[in-house]
Structure 1
């Protein structure tokens, strides 16, 4: 139960990272690197990144995100299943 709560909290954080990056993109501010976003997705945050992509329409034109994040989500699910 505790692990599930941590995963939910982490995915909320990754969703908010996408919102922050979208806002910084609009304002011309300091951005979160794509590498950092992918790392967060790899570390069991892919669902939040994916939700942020389509909720905030952010990074949806980047093929690397459109293909990579769903693949990482599958890896996240497999990793969760085996742990």
Structure 2
């Protein structure tokens, strides 16, 4: 349930931030967007980035989000194999 919620949050934050950017309003910080991804929302963040076409030209998002997802996937595999979770 946690991963579903955090990925949905990440996806929605990218959509909200894109809308705020269009309207020249106060935005969600890049630190917050990346923080949500690190907390398990990397897949939702990547989907939000692609679907809303937001932050796609920023290297820290275009490269960073897939890197975070890869690290999380490796950690999940290691946790599963080592700890039988």
- TM-score, normalized by length of structure 1? 0.88
Contact 2:14–2:48 under 8 Å retained in 1: yes
In the other structure, the counterpart of 1:8 is 4
Shift of 1:28: 0.5
Q: Which runs of 4+ in 1 moved over 4 A?
A: none
- Give the aligned partner of residue 82 of structure 2: none
Gaps of at least 5 residues in structure 2 are 80-84
How far apart, in 2, do the equivalents of 1:43 and 1:64 lie? Answer: 16
Q: Are 2:38 and 1:31 equivalent residues in the alignment?
A: no
The count of aligned residue pairs is 79
Higher Cα Rg, which structure: 2
Secondary structure class of the residue paired with 1:53? helix
Q: Select which of 9, 14, 19 maps to 1:18.
A: 14
CA RMSD of aligned residues (A): 1.2
1:75 aligned to 71, 81, 85, which one? 71
